[in-house]
Structure 1
């Protein structure tokens, strides 16, 4: 049994003319589309944060992952500047256990969770960001363990504003650092066109005693189109290209032979059709297809690794409001993953999910929300994923909430297949395991949201997660590794296995202050997080 304690204190001050997070006076008024039930944030029974695009523009961030650092409850572990690469964790999760979505389409890459921070979206495109703190696998399937980050772009958002809006900026600094961004937003009665570009490059700083500067060249270009085909039918389309070329030395190892360089290219395409049949019935169809190419060279003296992954994300659901106090959603999803790699081989998987969600309001004070998902994938079989949440309004300015649910995470292609396609693997290297089971977790949380005055609000959440089948690379004798023909039986390897159980207990506290001023508003956020880990295995 091992225990680890972590405490973090965050403070953010901002002067803005827009509300970055739901107003204290309207604690429950923001509708969360990530719920797929279109309920208000205070009715979900989980901690939910919603940030508007106007406020995001005023936060002094150089990239999207840099912006997420300002949000309580999210930890961003960056490697490199200006969003070169970042791992995102929530509530003590691993970087593989946070689900990132753009307009409902998965960003998480099937190769490795290290790529989940490569979000192919420009700051100028963002309408809002919805963050669900905690498990949501019943809604979204695998990877939604520590939380969900849902980015909604302007092309996929409803807005009554019309006209043309644009922005651009360029900055130059030492080490030949050049950054720039630009965006346009043009809207008429039935059409909305949004486009953006973001670029950062630098020759990089040269650490003392080193011969390789940490240079980078990062570019994101995107365009989206929203079409109102009829008063009750909307079609949205979007495409984005994200390219990255950077010095990756010591990103993944501390070896003295590490002279790593990496190039990543991601092409992200998506479409959505929303059909509002009448006041009580709505159908949504969402499709996404992404191709990611990764070229990684550890050292010029050794052959490089080249991977291409393709991911098809298809989903649809129908929402019904059966009455004033009852609504439910039925839907399904298909997730197809494919890899072509000289190191990991050529593989493909198909993942199917069926889900049912319901929200009931038995009285003006109570909100009950439940979900059930049946998930199947060839690698881990069939999993049943339930969740239930309760919200109770004690006073107009005070809510209590509770949540319990199961979550799962499937092994990625690196954990399953790394080095399995090499003709001969030297001892001491990582080796994948095609027989890995899904990680499983049970999650419980209790919390409260309160308005303490016209300028002050508070949020407090305690949570517990019991995870099993956690995946890690364990030093293993070659003779104990089954079905591996490219290893030395007398050597030892870091072999991927389901080996651990982990119990995570945590507490999150937030205090928000907002004061209206003639030129906008002053907002401050103080947050405290406490974590305790107990591991078996």
Structure 2
């Protein structure tokens, strides 16, 4: 039955993409991207597999948060613990969730405490201009954590160019089952040299029934930004945002029956950018400060874990068009990470890096882009990180390849989780002696543009890890530190796994057409196969949790005053069981969301009805973290 559903989804997308006749395109199939090379170029000359989605898709698809939008993009696996922004782990190409770097307008937002917070992107959807997903190794440019890939959110104000005029206002309200009350509001305004944007999104629900608790959530993000051109060459941009998540976290991190946890995470983000661009050169300085307060309470009688982290960073980039076919980009980065915690202790870590990228066009069709980075970490020392990207572009084809080294240092949770407590009965234990993990990754792929409004991308890849960091079930006798542990406890120790090889293939389809009679179709589809092999006899936790087969898709069809949207995913993975809480990870699952929208005033004001998990599937992405079953809702949308 699962295979039939999967084939039906694939067939529907392919049918839409091959049988309809178009007049004009809605999206660019070879968009401009800045993520692959730090300066604007067409994706077809980067040598990389890149997905670009416009920010306005957020209001057109059945999604309620940014991580839900990412969940249905081709090739992304988003392992959700809770809905609507409660908590999600982002996985690319079968690695662990800490191996994806998330960037907001050029600088990292990955939290030094834990990669579990990487999906807490402190931005209102109204501010998003586009999202760029760069798949594969990127440490030569971005440093630590850019192992499986990079997700960059680019906002309207920071992307604004001088001399333009534009304004937009959006509002949406949603109500539904289980006490659901969601809302978002925001806008963008530019008049000449100044652009301003801002907005808020808030998702709230009493939640569906879980094991003795309800899966409640109160998640709110608010942001505001401004970009001002001082003259035709200099501009300064600033953003401030606040993000708060308050949610039920039962069995998010454990499979204990006594777990009735809740968690509150507050984020304060500030970003300042000064940029110069004139003729053949450009220069920018980007500064960021992030403060996070995390309070996690395992149950009503336990003492909450209180973790406070700070991330301070600076990034300077210089680009020079050295010749008509040669662009040189260089830069330096400094990052300071801090933590104070009653669970993990107090810690500080500094790291820095410098990089050089050369984009060389050879003849009419070929582009070669070597990059090197020198990375320093005060704990693990110096590392040299090289990478090479090549592309060969023909009228209807792009052939591409990439090879490079990656690196990642352990976060504070991997090093010190449960280290500062007086007694730990069972659970995940940090390891201060973890070495940095390294890998060598290579890929080859092709993109086909031969049919109008349709892009097909196929890629094969392999990642060869050494010292990969993950949690492994470890008996008490083998624990390196036993001071606060119980001889009868069950523990998962963060360890460096000797060797892990992940081999895979991915297929991405992007399609968009606009027809006569006010009809429009937009669709994306992705299929990924990954096979991971380890020399570790005991399977590690997060590495064994990724999907072996993953298919995800979006479809939106508009005709006259109606719009119908579907998104869904199929996942096959290793099954797991916990008898203590009567939970399991099924071999596979298929989940589908649907939305029907009717415009009541031109294309400006509409009402909609939506069903999340339309087939009422009971499933979990991670053992014990029960995802909601069918959830019905409806509301209104205004776009002016």
TM norm structure 2: 0.78
Which moved further from structure 2: 474-483 or 454-463? 474-483
Alpha-carbon distance, 1:255 to partner: 0.9
Alpha-carbon distance, 1:482 to partner: 4.3
Verify: 1:465 aligned to 2:463, yes or no: yes
Q: 2:74 aligns with which of 57, 72, 86?
A: 72
Which residue pairs with 1:496 in the alignment?
Answer: 494
1:80-479 to 2 correspondences below 5 Å: 80-159=82-161, 161-207=164-210, 210-276=211-277, 278-393=278-393, 395-426=394-425, 428-476=426-474, 478=476
Measured on the aligned residues, the alpha-carbon RMSD in Å equals 2.3
Alpha-carbon distance, 1:21 to partner: 5.1
Instruction: Classify 1:492/1:320 alpha carbon distance in 2 versus 1 (closer, same or farther; 3 Å).
Output: same
1:7-22 to 2 correspondences below 5 Å: 22=28
Alpha-carbon distance, 1:397 to partner: 1.2
Which residue pairs with 2:534 in the alignment?
Answer: 535
Which moved further from structure 2: 155-164 or 127-136? 155-164
Instruction: Classify 1:512/1:495 alpha carbon distance in 2 versus 1 (closer, same or farther; 3 Å).
Output: closer
In structure 1, what is the Cα distance between the partners aligned to 2:455 and 2:402?
Answer: 21
Which residue pairs with 2:513 in the alignment?
Answer: 515
Verify: 1:63 aligned to 2:82, yes or no: no
1:374-408 CA deviation, whole Å, 9 max, x = no partner?
11112222111100011012x31111111000111
Alpha-carbon distance, 1:485 to partner: 4.0
In structure 1, what is the Cα distance between the partners aligned to 2:484 and 2:213?
Answer: 34
1:152-198 CA deviation, whole Å, 9 max, x = no partner?
11110124541432111111112221000000211111111101000
In structure 2, what is the Cα distance between the partners aligned to 1:371 and 1:383?
Answer: 14
In structure 1, what is the Cα distance between the partners aligned to 2:446 and 2:411?
Answer: 36
Which residue pairs with 2:561 in the alignment?
Answer: none
Helix, strand or coil: the match of 1:165? strand
Alpha-carbon distance, 1:310 to partner: 0.2
In structure 2, what is the Cα distance between the partners aligned to 1:220 and 1:499?
Answer: 37
Alpha-carbon distance, 1:47 to partner: 0.5
Alpha-carbon distance, 1:217 to partner: 0.5
Alpha-carbon distance, 1:308 to partner: 0.2
In structure 2, what is the Cα distance between the partners aligned to 1:433 and 1:130?
Answer: 34
Alpha-carbon distance, 1:256 to partner: 0.5
In structure 2, what is the Cα distance between the partners aligned to 1:492 and 1:201?
Answer: 36
Alpha-carbon distance, 1:20 to partner: 7.3
In structure 2, what is the Cα distance between the partners aligned to 1:31 and 1:481?
Answer: 47
Which residue pairs with 2:638 in the alignment?
Answer: none
Instruction: Classify 1:215/1:454 alpha carbon distance in 2 versus 1 (closer, same or farther; 3 Å).
Output: same
CA contact (8 A) 1:18 1:521 kept: no
CA contact (8 A) 1:20 1:56 kept: no
Unaligned runs of 5+ in 1: 1-6
1:217-245 CA deviation, whole Å, 9 max, x = no partner?
11111100111111101111001100011
Instruction: Classify 1:482/1:253 alpha carbon distance in 2 versus 1 (closer, same or farther; 3 Å).
Output: closer
In structure 1, what is the Cα distance between the partners aligned to 2:323 and 2:257?
Answer: 66
Alpha-carbon distance, 1:211 to partner: 3.0
CA contact (8 A) 1:375 1:383 kept: yes
Helix, strand or coil: the match of 1:361? strand
In structure 1, what is the Cα distance between the partners aligned to 2:25 and 2:313?
Answer: 33
In structure 2, what is the Cα distance between the partners aligned to 1:444 and 1:500?
Answer: 20
In structure 1, what is the Cα distance between the partners aligned to 2:42 and 2:168?
Answer: 29
CA contact (8 A) 2:336 2:350 kept: yes
Helix, strand or coil: the match of 1:188? strand
1:78-122 CA deviation, whole Å, 9 max, x = no partner?
122212111111111211111111101212111111111111111
- How many residues align? The count is 522
1:326-377 CA deviation, whole Å, 9 max, x = no partner?
0111111011100000010000000111111110012111100011011111
Helix, strand or coil: the match of 1:42? helix
In structure 1, what is the Cα distance between the partners aligned to 2:249 and 2:439?
Answer: 33
CA contact (8 A) 1:22 1:51 kept: no
Which moved further from structure 2: 133-142 or 158-167? 158-167
Helix, strand or coil: the match of 1:453? coil
CA contact (8 A) 2:446 2:459 kept: yes
CA contact (8 A) 1:402 1:447 kept: yes
In structure 2, what is the Cα distance between the partners aligned to 1:345 and 1:212?
Answer: 30
TM norm structure 1: 0.92
CA contact (8 A) 2:26 2:513 kept: no
Instruction: Classify 1:92/1:479 alpha carbon distance in 2 versus 1 (closer, same or farther; 3 Å).
Output: closer
